[in-house]
Structures are given as C-alpha cells and as structure tokens.
C-alpha cells in the first residue's frame, strides 16, 4: 500500500508541495520562483552551488522545461507552487464576513 506523504515547504510568500519534486528540488524551484540566482539559492538552503545546479537540472527534467521562466510557469500551472495567501482556509475556519458588512444591493 502506497501512502501519499506530501510535505509543504514555505519560502517567503510561496508554498510548495512535494510529490513531483523531492524536497531539495522543491526548495530550489521555490527560490527560482522568488527570483534568486544559483549562488543566492545555495546560501539560502545551505548547500554548494553545484548541488543547486544539479537540483535545478532535475527540476527542468521532471517538469519538462528548459528555462527558469518556463519552470516558474509550469510549477504554478501544475499547482506544485502557490502563493501562500492563495491557499483557502479550511471550511470550518471560514468566516462569513460578507453577511456582517451590510446589505448588498445590485
């Protein structure tokens, strides 16, 4: 029996989900989406620039892309990466703010 063990990783205002990408690959993809260069990514995740380069190559392969901009587009399109604020709250935590604001007349 296979168990789905997706992890959520947050990087600034972005969140990513493991599954298609391994954790290290996802961290690199999140950093690329945040606009970081390879050396900046290496500092941010605590690894060598050569490790970052290999991780990015694996992400390119897994997402079937050949550029950083295509990586960003494909990662968002597939839902691998989202803006942290874009994740909807659980139904039991949603408030009915509209009904408290007054009457809407069209």
Contact 24, 62 (CB under 8 A): no
> Which domains does the chain carry?
8-87 (1.10.10.10)
pLDDT of residue 6: 84
Q: What is the mean pLDDT of the chain?
A: 84
Say if residue 89's pLDDT is above 70. Answer: no
State whether the Cα torsion 70-73-45-54 is positive or negative. Answer: negative
Binning pLDDT at 50, 70 and 90, where does residue 53 land? very high
Which two tokens mark 20? 């298609």
- Mean pLDDT for 86-102 is 54
85-90 CB contacts, 8 Å cutoff, 24+ apart: 85/13, 87/15
| Least confidently predicted of 11-15, 48-52, 67-71 | 11-15
The whole-angstrom separation of Cα 52 and Cα 43 is 10
């Amino acid at each position: 029996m296979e168990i789905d063990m997706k992890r959520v990783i947050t990087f600034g205002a972005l969140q990513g989900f493991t599954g298609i990408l391994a954790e290290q690959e996802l961290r690199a993809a999140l950093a690329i989406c945040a606009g970081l260069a390879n050396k900046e990514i290496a500092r941010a995740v605590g690894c060598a620039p050569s490790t970052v380069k290999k991780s990015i190559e694996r992400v390119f392969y897994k997402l079937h892309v050949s550029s950083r901009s295509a990586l960003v587009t494909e990662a968002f399109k597939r839902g691998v990466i989202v803006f942290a604020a874009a994740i909807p709250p659980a139904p039991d935590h949603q408030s009915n703010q509209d009904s408290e604001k007054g009457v809407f007349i069209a």
